[in-house]
C-alpha cells in the first residue's frame, strides 16, 4: 500500500466516524436529537397558540359582559 492509499483509507475512517456521530449507530445521533428537539418546540408552540386563543375568547366574553352591564 502506497502513501496515497494509506491517506485515502485514513480519510475514509475519519469520515465514517463523523457520519456515525452525525447519523448515529442505530440508536440515533445528532440529527435524531435535533428532530426530537424540534418536535418538542412545535408542541410547545401549539400549546402557546391554544392558550392565547383561549385567553382572547375569555377577553371577548368579558368585554361583552362589561358592555352589556354598562348599557343597563
What pLDDT band is residue 37 in, cutting at 50, 70 and 90?
very high
What average pLDDT does range 28-43 have in this prediction? Answer: 88
pLDDT value at position 26? 66
- Entry pTM: 0.56
pLDDT value at position 9? 92
What is the Cα–Cα distance from 5 to 63, expressed in whole angstroms? 78
pLDDT value at position 50? 97
Burial class (CB in 10 A: 0-12, 13-18, 19+), 29: middle
Amino acid at each position: 500500500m502506497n502513501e496515497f492509499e494509506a491517506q485515502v483509507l485514513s480519510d475514509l475512517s475519519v469520515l465514517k466516524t463523523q457520519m456515525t456521530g452525525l447519523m448515529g449507530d442505530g440508536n440515533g445521533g445528532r440529527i435524531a436529537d435535533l428532530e426530537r428537539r424540534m418536535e418538542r418546540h412545535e408542541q410547545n408552540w401549539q400549546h402557546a397558540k391554544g392558550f392565547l386563543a383561549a385567553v382572547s375568547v375569555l377577553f371577548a366574553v368579558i368585554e361583552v359582559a362589561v358592555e352589556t352591564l354598562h348599557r343597563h
